[in-house]
Structure 1
Amino acid sequence: MIIEIKGVQFVNKGAELMLHAVLQQLEAYNKEVIFALAPNGNSSYKDRMKVGSYQKFSFRKKSYDLNGLTYFIPKAIRNWLKNTFGIVTEADIDVVLDASGFSYGDQWPLITIKNTSKEIVRLKQKNKKYIFLPQALGPFNKGIYSEVVLKGFSEASLICAREQASFENMINSVSANANVKLYPDFTNLVKGTIDDGYSDHSDKVLLIPNCNMISTRNSNSQWKDTYIEFLKNSALVVRELGYTPVLLNHEGDADGEICNQVANLLDGNIEIVKEADPLKVKGIISSSKAIICSRFHGCVSGLTQSVPCLGTSWSHKYEKLFEEYARAEYLLSPKIQKDEIKSKLLASIETIDDELYVKNIIKYKHESELMWQDVFSVLDEVNNG
């Protein structure tokens, strides 16, 4: 069986963490499974080879999608490409596991949804499977968006919405017989690793920025005026409380630029951490005193490991995440001042053993295990077919 893992990459540590979450589960399911990754600007050949991936060659450029032609390539030639160069095409793929995180909705280009819808339909016609792993989906309020989703996404073998809003977006957008389920973010089952160089973070509070907070994707425009100042004030508050602030770059250059801006406002007197290994990033988070975080999977890593977490939001997925873990009061507004940052941070530390919060951590990990059972049932259909 050849499985394409779609939507992951190696610059955004959350996306790479999702890749490792999938790989760990596939390893447990069947060590003989072959997986493939398609190249993109944030997924180099070197990175893909490092994790043992086959190379998915895509015949697609913007709106021009010729992947359907790969089914006319003689199987002997496809086998030669696979066995000699590790190259596979859509015709070789048995299952697509889509771990895009947040790529389908009115905030994103229509072409992405169109291409995915066409792919799902083609795969089903060839008795192949397309599975959306838990992710944020929708809304699909624009007329053409909803039409494309209804036609294509309805044909997926399994659609896993990551929170209630996404679940409702899909239920209202796909056909009545579509297989839509509600499951939490699945990186909660991944264990981080502690690097010796980062083993002593017990007095450190991580500040994890997100360039989307000040981009046009953020519908709350107030953050564009207050975000950098908020991060600076957060660092000052952390120091006032006797802890050490550390900037953690959870993605790439754009987040790195924010880290540099904040560091300059603090006269360079703050450590900036950029760790390439997402498992180590999760380990760094687990060993810290607390986090003040704008990256979704940074928040997930904190919330699921009982690390005090204050968050900011540029998408509904943050509100729903904090609600799920009964920590909604720790999602901050763009008008927040220093004194309130301090009180919120102290409260998040003092309530880290809250009974409902602890129960929800256990609950959502169990639900992720159930999600993988559903995925494996689909994979079994392929194996037994």
Structure 2
Amino acid sequence: MYVEVRKAGFVNKGAELMLHAVIQQLEQRLPDAKVVMEPGRAQSPYPYRNRASLGLYQKAWLWRAGIPFGDLAAFVPAGIREQYGVVLDKEVNVVLDAAGFAYTDQWGPELSVELARSSRRWRKNGTKAVLLPQAFGPYHDQRSKDAVKAFVDSCDLIYPREQVSYDYLTEITGPRNNIKLAPDFTNLVNGTRPDYFDAERHQVCLVPNYRMLDKTGGDVAQGYVPFLERAARMLVERDAKPFLLIHEGTADVGLAERLSKAIDGLPVLQENDPLAVKGILGACRGTLGSRFHGLVSALSQGVPSLATGWSHKYEMLFADYGFPEGVLNINLSDEELSSALDYLTEPTKMAALSSSLRSHSNELKARSKDMWDDVFSLIEH
């Protein structure tokens, strides 16, 4: 059986963590499955070296001007394709889409239109298709709305990971049996704490996100870096040992280096292994982050967390963990910010919050397991 994993890349550590989460489940529940990933375009987030390191098969896929040139690989005998780990699109039995947050007008209608086109092809080929827990919407463009109708009709299971995303879909399609709520599924993945991590020196983790600059309005974009500087200075004054952790690529690195320079050389950690990134976040005393999966990694391990965000997915995530007040407005006063930071530095507040987060995490992990039960029931029947 060939199982294709879509939209989980290697640049964003959240996307890579989703890939590991899928592979772990397949290894546990369907060990004979061969996991496939398409190569993507030049400069794609799916480089061959990374795909090969995980033992992934390569889908013969090259789509130009509406023509699937990858289908030309069908002229190569099947035995030779298997020898080189190359799989035809029509040979894929199951597609697991782990986009995270792609099908929304915040990125434009094109990705939703592509999903609609692909899902029709899967249906025609008899390929089962699952959109794993992710955020959807909003949809304002008519092309997006038409695409939503098409991919909801063609996919077997679709999992919005919170109520707002569910509503964005069902406002267009109406309630459907194949649309089911389920939380982010990386909560089941265990992190690995790297040997070099010094928990005494690195206690409160700051995870910046350049999307707070290019996906927000003027006041938020202009105020984001000053907000992080204010928070970092307050944490330094409390001797909370703040440090910066990179969760994506060069843009986040530049943002972290800018903050480090402004706060007298605040330590910056950059880790390539997403499991180690989760391990670091689990070993922290607290975190203030703007990367969604960095926050999932912390919250799911009971680590006191605060956030800033650029879409509804942040508010809904913290609501799932019973701590909606943890999503901060960057324009809050110094007094309000100082009070919020107590959740990351004041032992009594930290302990109470951690206990509550762990309780909610247990419930969400149970729901993730139920989601995977449904997915594998679909795959195996």
Higher mean C-alpha deviation, range 170-179 or range 7-16: 170-179
CA contact (8 A) 1:199 1:287 kept: no
CA contact (8 A) 1:307 1:352 kept: no
CA distance in 2, matches of 1:170, 1:68: 33
CA contact (8 A) 1:154 1:175 kept: no
CA contact (8 A) 2:112 2:144 kept: yes
Give the C-alpha shift of residue 362 in structure 1.
1.0
Partner residue in 1 for 2:330:
334
Q: Superposed, which structure 2 residues align to 1:311-326 within 5 Å?
A: 311-326=307-322
CA distance in 1, matches of 2:200, 2:310: 28
CA contact (8 A) 1:192 1:279 kept: yes
Partner residue in 1 for 2:218:
221
Q: Which runs of 4+ in 1 moved over 6 A?
A: none
CA distance in 2, matches of 1:156, 1:24: 23
Partner residue in 2 for 1:196:
195
Aligned: 1:12 with 2:12 = yes
Partner residue in 1 for 2:38:
38
- TM score, norm. by length of structure 2: 0.93
Higher mean C-alpha deviation, range 36-45 or range 126-135: 36-45
Q: 1:176 to 1:328 in 2, by over 3 A?
A: closer
Q: 1:65 to 1:234 in 2, by over 3 A?
A: same
Secondary structure, aligned partner of 2:61: coil
Give the C-alpha shift of residue 77 in structure 1.
2.7
Partner residue in 1 for 2:55:
52
Aligned: 1:65 with 2:61 = no
CA distance in 2, matches of 1:278, 1:19: 10
Partner residue in 1 for 2:253:
256
Give the C-alpha shift of residue 323 in structure 1.
0.9
CA contact (8 A) 1:163 1:183 kept: yes
Partner residue in 2 for 1:289:
285
The amino acid of 1:278's aligned partner reads P
Deviation string for 1:284-305 (max 9, x for gaps)? 0111111110000011011111
Q: Superposed, which structure 2 residues align to 1:86-105 within 5 Å?
A: 86-105=85-104
Percent of aligned pairs sharing the same letter: 34
The amino acid of 2:205's aligned partner reads L
Partner residue in 2 for 1:367:
367
CA distance in 1, matches of 2:352, 2:186: 21
Deviation string for 1:51-81 (max 9, x for gaps)? 11111232224xx3334983x865x735245
Q: 1:255 to 1:81 in 2, by over 3 A?
A: farther
**Structure 1 unaligned spans of 5+:** none
CA contact (8 A) 2:21 2:185 kept: yes
Q: 1:225 to 1:73 in 2, by over 3 A?
A: closer
CA contact (8 A) 1:13 1:250 kept: yes
Give the root-mean-square deviation of aligned CA atoms: 1.9
The amino acid of 2:278's aligned partner reads K
Aligned: 1:238 with 2:241 = no
Secondary structure, aligned partner of 2:96: strand
Q: Superposed, which structure 2 residues align to 1:198-213 within 5 Å?
A: 198-201=197-200, 204-213=203-212
Q: 1:69 to 1:258 in 2, by over 3 A?
A: closer
CA contact (8 A) 1:156 1:178 kept: no
Deviation string for 1:85-123 (max 9, x for gaps)? 211121121111000000001112322211211111111
**Structure 2 unaligned spans of 5+:** none
Q: 1:334 to 1:176 in 2, by over 3 A?
A: closer
CA distance in 2, matches of 1:21, 1:143: 34
Secondary structure, aligned partner of 2:244: strand
